[in-house]
């Protein structure tokens, strides 16, 4: 009767467990691209944190332009205005209030 230690060790699928596992080849181009992309992301996030906390933002306040100083340009002959997509309410108020919505 054979001992199990004398036989080659095999699992249920018939693979030899004494040999080292063969690893698939590494795709170095893909690893290099992922490393470069990760490095760019880390540098960009560091720059964003630096800009957020250390650089003073410019003021958004600007002086209002005077209405009399700017005159609208005259419209060329044959100009057709673009129709509004959103309906513009009439300038006169309605004579009676609208009826309440029914439920």
pLDDT, tens digit, 9 for 90 and up, residues 42-64: 999 999 999 999 999 888 888 77
Residue found by looking up tokens 């005159």 in the block? 71
Is 8:2 a contact under the CB 8 Å cutoff? Answer: no
How many whole angstroms separate alpha carbon 79 and alpha carbon 61? 35
**Residue-level pLDDT at 32:** 95
Q: Which of 33-42, 75-84, 89-98 has the lowest mean pLDDT?
A: 89-98
Query: Two tokens at 52?
Result: 């957020």
pLDDT at 5 over 60: no
- Gyration radius of the chain's alpha carbons: 38
pLDDT at 82 over 90: no
Which pTM was predicted? Answer: 0.41
Count CB neighbours of 101 within 10 A: 5
How many whole angstroms separate alpha carbon 98 and alpha carbon 57? 49
pLDDT in tens, 12-36: 677 777 888 888 888 999 999 999 9
Mean pLDDT of the chain, nearest integer: 79
**Residue-level pLDDT at 70:** 67
pLDDT at 4 over 60: no
Residue found by looking up tokens 């964003």 in the block? 48
């Amino acid at each position: 009767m054979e001992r199990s230690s004398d036989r080659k060790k095999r699992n249920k699928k018939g693979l030899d467990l004494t040999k080292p596992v063969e690893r698939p080849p590494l795709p170095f181009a893909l690893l290099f691209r992922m490393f470069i992309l990760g490095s760019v992301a880390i540098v960009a996030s560091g720059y964003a944190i630096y800009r957020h906390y250390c650089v003073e933002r410019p003021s958004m306040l600007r002086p209002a332009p005077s209405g009399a100083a700017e005159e609208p340009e005259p419209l060329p002959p044959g100009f057709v205005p673009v129709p509004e997509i959103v309906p513009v309410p009439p300038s006169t108020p309605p004579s009676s209030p609208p009826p309440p919505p029914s439920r």
